[in-house]
Amino acid sequence: MREGTETLVRRELYSAPAYWIRSVDLSFDLDPIKTLVISRMQVEPNSAFAGHHEALRLDGEDITVTRVQVNGQSISFRLENGQLVLENLPSEPFQLEIRNTCSPEKNTRLNGLYTSGGGFFTQCEAQGFRRITFFLDRPDVMATFKVTLRANKQSYPVLLSNGNKVESGDLDHGRHYAVWVDPHPKPCYLFALVAANLVCREQRVVSRTGKDHLLQVYVRSGDLDKTEHAMQSLVAALIWDEARFGLSLDLERFMIVAVSDFNMGAMENKGLNIFNTKFVLANPATATDVDFGNVEAVVGHEYFHNWTGNRVTCRDWFQLSLKEGLTVYRDQEFTQDMAGSPSARAVKRIEDVRQLRQIQFAEDAGPMAHPVRPDSYQAIDNFYTSTVYEKGAEVVRMMATLVGRAGFARGMTLYFERFDGQAVTCDDFAQAISDANPDSALAPRLEAFKRWYAQSGTPRVQASGEYDADNRRYTLTLSQSCPATPGQSEKQPFVIPVALGLLDREGRALPMQFVGGPLASPTERLLVLEEASQSFTFINLDSAPVPSLLRGFSAPVILQAQASQDDLLTLLRHDSDAFNRWEAGQQLGLERLLAAVQADQNGEEPTLDAAFIDAMQALLRDESLDAAFRELLLTLPSESYVAERLVERGVAVDPQTIHRVRDAFRAQLAQALHADWAAVWDKHAQTGGYSPDAISSGRRALANLALANLVLDAARSGDTVWPGRAYQRCKDATNMTDRLGALSALVQAHAELAEPALARFHAQFRDEALVIDKWFTLQATAPESNGRVFARVKALAQHPDFSVKNPNRARSLLMALAQNPAAFHRADAAGYVFWAEKVIEIDAINRQLAARLARGLDRWRTLAEPQRGAAQEALQRVAAKPDLSADVREIVSRALAA
Ligand code: TRP
Ligand code: ZN
């Protein structure tokens, strides 16, 4: 069947469907080789099209139609570009019945109906439903679903679909059936079914409305002991959404099902969330603190979609951020609220921003740059991006900042009053938030604010301050610009909320008063930068203040503030805003990394100065700071972050130099602070019984960083005690965070004991797929040294446990390599040759996965030679394949486009 996907789909060309499908009665005879699907639909011509007799064009892909009936009579049909075209249809509502077959076992794309671990699972977002049956596969067509599942009882004892189970029983030939009814109209991308041999943990809860709900987490029988945290997270999410937004569960039954073959994190199908096992299964023995955090965040994310995505959904896929940006914002807030203390909240914010800057900023600077609400796409699956998700969440966060916390809650309420049960646009959302807050800072500038949805690229904000001692005034000038991005050469100014504080030289917060402003002089203010350039003057200041700009990262911009070393040190020591304290430290580290990379060209050895080391030492010793916060402060900016900053300065990126310099700095910090690392280890190594809370996980994170430094320093000094201790900890640890931390310390330092420790770890966890994924990743992300990491990756690709068919496993090795700059970007091009091979190999099996891996060379143009030319060649080699999927073709052709 032809796919017709290489054409560009354009947002401007949206038009309503010619027909509505109001209800669907689906029946499945499940068989791995050939599944029979019967779909009975109530179809209604769209009255807006009355008069013309439009053909009904139903989407379909890799399925075989056997019969079509209208009101009980067989009719003729034709297939055109994969669509089923029906003509001469009644002008009144009618019943349409379609019979078709599909082959779940052959469906290696994991999109549509597929098999995994001997069960049946579905994934329909964004356009997988058309791989199950012919339908109007677009989110603005919403129908109620009744689903009948028939399957062999012994192999598939559990039969699930959306909504409530209304009937079940036995059939002949060892088969059984179940009937599910979902009363909520939904777009077909939210349809799901599961037929498998699973067990479940369940719990009943009563919501605020007094209604009783059944919560279930379904997993394979050996995994029941890893479901407690997911269930607790689900209950917490339920309570949180009621408390924070007044949103209750609208279902009698809410199910989570774990599947080990899955392209993404999880999917919010109505009442039947399907999850990658990675984001459900967690117990202390097999999951790290990071995993526990991810489970909580993803369980929350999918649960929150029930309102932001399902009750109110997207009119078309260009509006994806309507549900994703908003839901990421909600899950970030959930995690922060769960973390509790202000310091733990800041730690979460820092982690989110670090992620945003590393991935989304790079995306915005590269060939795949697109607005939060894209204008066109070839393959929609390529637009489940960091821009749509994480930058989209920042856009929502800025709105919340501009209208205030209570105002945002009011806006959400109005949004649901207006749009519950509808498929709407990003404009509708922004309008609701604004209309609920007519006196806010958002309402008068809503149109300009919405440029955040339309303009791609990361805005730059320049800040410069001037102190006028005679008049005791300080004038801060902020100006903005945004570089050109593909398809957008000129940008209009953004509306940028800039949270600001002023400190004196001793680090005390200063009251901030405007000329002629109200007497109130808070120590933090929200400035709104909306022109190309604006000045803000503060009065009654006795000396030149140190500005603390963009507190809490109040907007997703690159701040160019030219702060002095002294200013940064003041902020690092004293800022009351934890985010900016951390940021000042990163800035100090970054400047040194950048300078050392430049100096490397003159053959200068990278050397950290005493001022920096002393500052780091003071922080490490500061017991008033949470361990988690100290761990973040003591971690240097990543190699890819340094690379992007070099690009901004017009320098071609040599990943090998960046790596060498950063490694040298790490080694120097390990050596200079040896005694402090040892003291920190002594104090934090024993964490007692496992609990994933913020305080305990922070202690483990700092202990692991200390151990990594001590083992690293041992590699220099020849000491054998610390590697021995790390090895011992690998053996004796009582939780995965400690065990993996110790193993990682050995592997990262290329210690001799790394090999026996890896072997032992593998033997111990050979039956735990998610742990073996970690084992692969750990080796692929080790600091490159003389090509041994890359050689190891190539060898691991031949390991009996490796397979590109399982996305988690493929990512654990291949995505991990692409994220290890020095191992990947080799002067001899071997990394790229390997990458091209794998992209092509995987594309034949799973195009979504291949397209993700293909993004690994997005930033090839920023590289210095010889990498640049070699990367281009590798991209061209992939692009030259004639039978490439539309997904991978879109990525590589954009990367190669001038
Ligand atoms: N809507 C899902 C989420 O963010 C994302 C998702 C899950 C997805 N599976 C997918 C997107 C497959 C595209 C393809 O919660
Ligand atoms: Zn989502």
3-state secondary structure at position 880: coil
How many Cα neighbours within 13 Å face the side chain of 315?
A: 17
Q: What angle do CA 612, 616, 622 make, to 5 degrees?
A: 145
pTM above 0.85, yes or no: yes
Neighbours of ion ligand 2 (CB under 5 A): 324, 327
Interacting residues of 777 by C-beta distance below 8 A, sequence separation 6+: 812, 813, 816
Q: Ligand 1: which residue has its CA nearest to atom 11? A: 125
Query: What secondary structure letter does DSSP report for 402?
Result: H
Which of 125, 278, 310 for mutating ligand 1's site (highest number of atoms within 8 Å of CB)? Answer: 125
Q: Which residues contact 495 (CB under 8 A, 6 or more apart)?
A: 398, 402, 445, 448, 449, 451, 452, 528, 529, 530
Ligand 1 pocket, residues with Cβ under 6 angstroms: 123, 125-126, 263-264, 266-268, 301-302, 324, 381, 384
Distance CA 716, CA 704 (A): 19
Q: Ligand 1 centroid to 123 CA: how many Å? A: 8
CA gap 680, 670 in Å, rounded = 13
Pairing of strands 253-259, 272-276: parallel
How many angstroms separate the alpha carbon of residue 124 from the centre of ligand 2?
A: 13
Contact 860, 868 (CB under 8 A): yes
- Report the catalytic residues: 302
Nearest atom, ligand 1, residue 265 CA: 7
Which of 131, 264, 303 has most ligand 1 atoms within 8 Å of CB, for mutation? Answer: 264
> Which single residue is written with the structure tokens 């596969």?
137
Residue type present at position 188:
C
Return the ligand 1 atom nearest residue 324 CA: 4
Cβ–Cβ < 8 Å for 15, 315: no
Q: Is 406 exposed, middle or buried (0-12, 13-18, 19+ CB in 10 A)?
A: exposed
Closest CA to 99 of 189, 29, 31, 3: 29
**Ligand nearest to the backbone CA of 330:** 2
Q: 580: CA distance to ligand 2 center in Å?
A: 29
What does DSSP assign to residue 814? I
Q: Within its chain, how far is the Cα of 119 from the centroid?
A: 27
Residue 614, C-beta contacts closer than 8 angstroms, at least 6 positions apart: none
pLDDT at 7: 87
Give the ligand 1 atom nearest the CA of 266: 7
Q: Nearest ligand to the C-alpha of residue 331?
A: 2
| Contact indicator for 463, 477 with CB cutoff of 8 Å | yes
Distance from first CA to last CA of the chain, Å, rounded? 32
Q: What is the pLDDT of residue 4?
A: 42
Distances (CA, A) of 551 to 374, 397, 496: 29, 13, 12
pLDDT along the chain (898 residues), means of 10: 64 96 98 98 92 88 98 97 95 97 98 98 98 98 98 98 98 98 98 99 95 98 98 98 98 98 98 99 98 98 98 98 99 96 96 98 98 98 98 99 98 98 98 99 98 98 98 98 98 98 97 83 95 97 97 98 96 98 98 97 96 98 97 98 97 98 98 98 92 96 98 97 98 98 98 98 98 99 98 98 98 98 98 98 98 98 98 98 98 95
Residues 46 and 86: beta-carbon distance below 8 Å: no
- CA-based nearest residue to 710, from 739, 737, 685, 735: 685
Mutate to test the pocket of ligand 1, among 109, 123, 278, 885 (most ligand atoms within 8 A of CB): 123
